[in-house]
Amino acid sequence: MTSFNFRMDGGVAIITGAGSGIGQAIAVGIAESGGKVGLFDLPSSDLEGTLRMVEAAGSTGMIVSGDVTQAAELTDAVDRIESMFGPLTHAVNSAGVADAAPAEDMSQEQWQRIYDIDVTGVFLSCQAEGRAMIRGGGGAIVNIASMSGTMAHRGLQQVHYNSAKSAVKHLSTSLAVEWAPHNIRVNSLSPGYTLTAMNRRPEVATQVSAFAAETPMNRLAEPAEMAGPAVFLLSSAASYCTGTDLLIDGGYTSW
Ligand SMILES: NC(=O)c1ccc[n+]([C@@H]2O[C@H](COP(=O)([O-])OP(=O)(O)OC[C@H]3O[C@@H](n4cnc5c(N)ncnc54)[C@H](O)[C@@H]3O)[C@@H](O)[C@H]2O)c1
């Protein structure tokens, strides 16, 4: 007889990038599944809006604003969440940025900014979360990578972003192996094109309809469509799932 549970009742989560897009939708998904959520993002983001949605979903949240490139701010956020809600059990690292430029013209600063936020930021987030989970006896982490970590886009010049997302996938696999003895599962989730602020960037404005046409499902994802897969990976229904990448792309990489 099988027995599985997709609920997160009693869970305490931190979500980075919770003030917009995919991170916001996943925070609401965790709240709907019964988890308490610490909402981490830059102060300029819409964390207040996310908190209102979390409360409307019947759960409890708290805002812990900060920058994922600053290790001390992440540690402080985890400490504050644990003081308020108890031991951290779940984490989703969704904070990220994207831009584009031809590789031959890309400045080192542009390359480095993507790596600082999208790779080092994810590692520092995992480090702060992992330390807490080791103390607490275990947990589950989901890092938001991208299908861009698996393929390269026709017409979208983002060698820095694509390679950074590949790094997110493999740092997740590496941490899964390293932290399995601590009862911590680490997976990545790779969205395809999703309708968030990131796809309202000037560089992609004219390409969004082409993105839909190139996708077998003939549309972009809604941010909320990433919440179910993330909650699955966090929940005990995924208890034997670690070190893997879950690609949610409407079939984009299938043809
Ligand atoms: N939208 C897509 O099509 C798509 C596809 C694949 C992967 N992704 C990934 O999903 C994640 C979320 O992207 P999104 O589409 O929701 O974008 P978004 O711009 O809506 O949200 C990203 C959030 O990250 C936050 N952030 C940026 N830099 C930060 C920093 N230094 N510290 C803390 N927070 C910071 C932003 O303030 C913002 O709230 C990113 O990692 C992105 O690379 C997005």
pLDDT in tens, 52-76: 999 999 999 999 999 999 999 999 9
Q: What is the span of the domain harbouring residue 31?
A: 12-245
14, 22, 63: residue to mutate for ligand 1 pocket, most atoms within 8 A of CB? 22
Express each pLDDT in 126-156 by its tens digit: 999 999 999 999 999 999 999 999 999 888 8
Q: Is 188 in the pocket of ligand 1 (CB under 6 A)?
A: no
Residue 134 within a domain: yes
State CA 39 to chain mean position distance: 12
* 252 assigned to active site: no
Identify the pLDDT of residue 216: 97
Residue 24 within a domain: yes
Summary mean pLDDT of the chain? 96
Residue 19 within a domain: yes
Residue 105 within a domain: yes
Identify the pLDDT of residue 202: 75
Q: Quickly list H helices, 180-213.
A: 208-213
* CB distance 242 to 186 below 8 Å: yes
Residue 2 within a domain: no
CATH of the domain at 104: 3.40.50.720
Conformation bin of residue 128: beta by default, left when phi > 0, alpha when psi is -120 to 50? alpha
Q: Please say if the pLDDT value at position 204 is more than 80.
A: no
Residue 252 within a domain: no
* Angle subtended by helix axes 21-32 and 227-234, to nearest 10: 60
| Token couple for 136 | 């607490």
Q: Is 98 in the pocket of ligand 1 (CB under 6 A)?
A: yes
Residue 250 within a domain: no
What is the average per-residue pLDDT within 186-204? Answer: 89
Domain total in the chain: 1
Residue 171 within a domain: yes
